[in-house]
């Protein structure tokens, strides 16, 4: 059975007060860097591919397009549980510091790529995966370090700042990538290096473990089954949005179906293994804590809505709205990031405030209200015309950002407060899986819904438009029957879609006026507008449903719940109680919760404390055992 060990190096008094702020600033820097690097390539990809002389729209090169973009996200989704568990075993700060060093080394290596073509693409994929491994160390342990460092009445504020920085970084990365990539594509990677060096030195100099460690064996079977199973599922989703044969998407491909079925089977086997081994990697018992279960379900649904929304806006702005308003295709990536800044501002305003308020009043009212407002904004986006006025669009984005910030900080604090002290790393990793995997899952869902919405309309509309501009019927047929995702990726990458799809040889043989119209900023956006609008209706409806379900999950989390102490293992008549990382010599009955009525037991022998507004009932806590 797992043995909890009290760490005697916890700071006290003024030293504890100074340490918690140092921990907050350093972990926030780490999480911000990782989240920026998750999205920085979305805008920078055109310049990167031009720099390494690789055409990402050639079917044979689609592997590089997908994996340069998604490899980092896949690694962070797969490894956070394992690395969080290692933090519980060997020290969260030790694992976090190692992650900062690994992340920084691979950030530097990414900027020294001297190759071109497919070799350069493969090098970037490999180094991005290494960078993602370092980021996984940071993600997996930052929340647990803050939970150890801050008292429970300040955790919402601390975790709120940390979590909002992570979410806002996704949008900040869009602007940073758009600004740096046109100057030199290597700057997109090297920009993280000086901050990584600073953070690494700072972490090794100032941070130290002050939490409870769990001395257990590594669950090798669980780690392998989970990593391989989740990887197969996410890879299957990634390739499902690619065309297969004559189909616009690959969901009927034997490779995709086999990958998804194999991944689900391995995850099912993982669940069986985790219920049998003495020291499981994934503590399934933690899901008996209502606050933990409901918080993670809500987090998954909110992240699906948020991640899909970002990609929808990038395609909408770059493919249609910005060209119609006079921005060249080459400049649309940068301006898309700039025009999305109101959403980032909403996050930064609401997140820390809601975190502070949740320390006093609990997570449920703020997290639930955030998801209700987010649902309403998705409905509001449904009523915008495809060629909208920017003011209402910006207002809706700002309100959506505030709603997500209102939800994210209290929800994260509630999840971490619900965990026993020796399970905070594993629990944070489990929570990270839901949030990080949701990014890839949301891409699969929203791209599928979008392509489903335009696949039946775009080919016919595009054929008619091309023939009207004197493009030969055979060429118009071939171009119009290209997979819709080709047009979407062309817009996403900042290419002139018609110039790219037709090629200079076709344009050169057309009348000058027709060539000018086809390669101009109006032709393709206007053709795409109607089918894209149909796809947006489907996607925004799904996003509204996801946020509404997240609101329901948040309501069901119960009242404010804080796991306050860790009791000794069953069978000991007396022993140490570890509360907030400080050991006392108070003898207790094994498994009894500190500060709660007899008979209400915590998970894994842990203790719990309910808010004063919960007299007599653990409605927000673990199931009674």
Q: What is the reported pLDDT for 593?
A: 33
Closest CA to 131 of 48, 178, 193: 193
Asked whether the CA dihedral 324, 326, 332, 335 is positive or negative, the reply is negative
User: Measuring CA to CA, which residue among 561, 546, 539 is closest to residue 623?
Assistant: 561
- Calculated CA dihedral for residues 167, 173, 176, 180, nearest 10 degrees: 160
Neighbours of 560 (CB within 10 A): 26
The full length of the chain comes to 625
pLDDT score for 194: 93
Q: How many CB atoms lie within 10 A of CB 612?
A: 8
- What pLDDT does residue 59 have? 67
Residue 258: other Cβ atoms inside 10 A: 12
The strand pairing partners of 583, in sequence order, are: 578
Pairing of strands 561-562, 213-215: unpaired
Q: How far apart are CA 58 and CA 79, in angstroms?
A: 32
Give the dihedral sign, CA 406/603/143/304.
negative
Strand partners, 610: 561
Q: How high is the pLDDT of residue 102?
A: 95
| Count of C-beta atoms within a 10 Å radius of residue 474 | 8
Strand partners, 584: 577
- Residue whose C-alpha is closest to residue 320's, from 485, 484, 529, 523: 529
* Domains identified in the chain and CATH numbers: 3-219+277-454+533-555 (1.20.1250.20), 458-532 (no CATH), 560-625 (no CATH)
Structural element, H or E, at residue 287: none
Q: What single string gives the DSSP state of each residue in 465-508?
A: HHHHTT--HHHHHHHHTS-HHHHHHHHHTT--HHHHHHHHHHHH
Nearest C-alpha neighbor of 374 from the set 348, 396, 342, 352: 396
Q: Are strands 3-5 and 213-215 parallel, antiparallel or unpaired?
A: antiparallel
CA angle at 234 for the pair 181 and 60, rounded to the nearest 5°: 60
pLDDT given for residue 583 in this prediction: 32
Tell me 388's DSSP state: -
How many other C-beta atoms are found inside a 10 Å radius of the C-beta of residue 91? 21
Using the CB atoms, write b or e for 589-604: b if 16+ within 10 Å: eebbbbebeeebbbbb
Q: How far is CA 397 from CA 194, 242, 339, in A?
A: 32, 29, 10
d(CA 171, CA 193): 20
pTM over 0.75: yes
> Are 556 and 294 contacting, i.e. CB atoms less than 8 angstroms apart?
yes
Q: Residue 284 carries which DSSP code? A: G
Q: What is the model's pLDDT at position 154?
A: 83
Taking only the tens place, the pLDDT of each residue in 355-393 is 888 888 888 899 999 999 999 999 999 999 999 999 999
Nearest Cα to Cα of residue 238 among 452, 61, 385, 67? 67
List, in sequence order, every residue forming a beta bridge with 4; answer none if it has no partner. 214
The residues, ordered by sequence, that sit 6+ positions from 528 with a Cβ below 8 Å of its Cβ are 319, 320, 454, 458, 487, 491
Residue 244 burial by Cβ neighbours in a 10 Å radius (0-12, 13-18, 19+): middle
pLDDT, block means (10 residues), the chain with 625 residues: 43 72 92 89 84 80 79 82 79 91 93 87 93 90 85 81 80 85 90 93 87 70 85 84 80 92 92 83 80 90 83 85 89 85 87 83 90 96 94 95 89 84 74 77 81 81 90 89 76 76 86 90 86 86 93 87 52 34 31 32 39 38 35
């Amino acid at each position: 059975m797992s043995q909890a060990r009290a760490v005697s190096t916890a700071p006290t008094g003024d030293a504890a007060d100074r340490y918690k702020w140092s921990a907050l600033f350093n972990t926030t820097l780490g999480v911000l860097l990782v989240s920026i690097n998750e999205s920085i390539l979305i805008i920078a990809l055109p310049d990167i591919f031009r720099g390494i002389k690789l055409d990402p729209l050639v079917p044979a090169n689609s592997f590089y397009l997908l994996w340069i973009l998604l490899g980092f996200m896949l690694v962070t989704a797969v490894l956070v549980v394992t690395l969080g568990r290692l933090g519980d075993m060997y020290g969260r700060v030790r694992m976090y510091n190692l992650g900062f060093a690994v992340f920084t080394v691979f950030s530097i290596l990414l900027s020294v790529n001297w190759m071109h073509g497919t070799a350069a693409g493969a090098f970037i994929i490999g180094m991005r995966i290494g960078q993602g491994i370092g980021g996984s160390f940071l993600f997996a342990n930052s929340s647990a370090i803050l939970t150890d460092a801050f008292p429970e009445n300040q955790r919402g504020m601390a975790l709120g700042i940390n979590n909002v920085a992570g979410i806002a970084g996704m949008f900040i990365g869009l602007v940073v990538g758009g600004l740096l990539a046109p100057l030199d594509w290597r700057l997109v990677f090297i920009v993280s290096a000086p901050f990584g060096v600073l953070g690494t030195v700072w972490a090794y100099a100032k941070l130290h473990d002050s939490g409870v460690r769990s001395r257990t064996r590594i669950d090798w079977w669980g780690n392998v089954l989970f990593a391989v199973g989740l990887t197969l599922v996410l890879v299957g989703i990634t390739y499902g949005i690619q065309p297969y044969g004559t189909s616009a998407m690959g969901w009927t491909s034997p490779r995709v179906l086999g990958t998804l079925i194999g991944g689900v089977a391995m995850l099912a086997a993982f669940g069986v293994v985790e219920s049998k081994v003495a020291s499981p990697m994934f503590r399934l018992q933690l899901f008996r804590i209502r606050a933990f279960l409901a918080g993670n379900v809500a987090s998954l649904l909110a992240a699906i809505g948020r991640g899909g929304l970002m990609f929808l806006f990038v395609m909408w702005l770059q493919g249609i709205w910005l060209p119609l308003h006079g921005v060249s295709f080459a400049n649309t990536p940068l301006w898309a990031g700039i025009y999305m800044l109101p959403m980032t501002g909403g996050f930064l305003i609401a997140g820390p405030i809601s975190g502070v308020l949740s320390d006093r009043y609990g997570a449920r009212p703020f997290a639930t209200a955030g998801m209700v407002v987010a649902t309403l904004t998705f409905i509001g986006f449904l009523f915008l015309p495809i060629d909208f006025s920017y003011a209402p669009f910006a207002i809706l984005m700002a309100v959506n950002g505030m709603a997500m910030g209102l939800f994210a900080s209290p929800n994260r604090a509630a999840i971490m407060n619900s965990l026993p002290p020796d399970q905070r790393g594993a629990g944070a990793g489990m929570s990270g899986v839901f949030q990080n995997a949701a990014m890839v899952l949301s891409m699969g869902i929203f791209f599928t819904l979008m392509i489903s919405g335009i696949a039946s309309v775009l080919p016919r509309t595009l054929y008619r438009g091309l023939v009207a501009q004197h493009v030969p019927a055979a060429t118009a047929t071939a171009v119009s029957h290209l997979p819709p995702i080709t047009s979407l990726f062309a817009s996403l990458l900042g290419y002139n879609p018609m110039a790219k799809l037709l090629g200079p040889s076709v344009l050169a043989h057309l009348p000058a006026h027709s060539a000018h119209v086809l390669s101009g900023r109006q032709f393709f956006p206007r053709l795409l507008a109607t089918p894209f609008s149909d796809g947006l209706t489907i996607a925004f409806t799904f996003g509204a449903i996801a946020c509404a379900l997240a609101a329901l999950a948040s309501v069901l989390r119960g009242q404010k719940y804080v796991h306050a102490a860790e009791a000794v293992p069953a069978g000991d008549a007396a022993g140490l109680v570890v509360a907030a990382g400080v050991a006392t010599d108070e003898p207790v009955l094994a498994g009894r919760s500190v500060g709660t009525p007899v008979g209400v037991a915590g998970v894994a022998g842990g203790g719990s404390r309910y808010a004063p507004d919960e007299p007599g009932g653990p409605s927000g806590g673990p199931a009674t055992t």
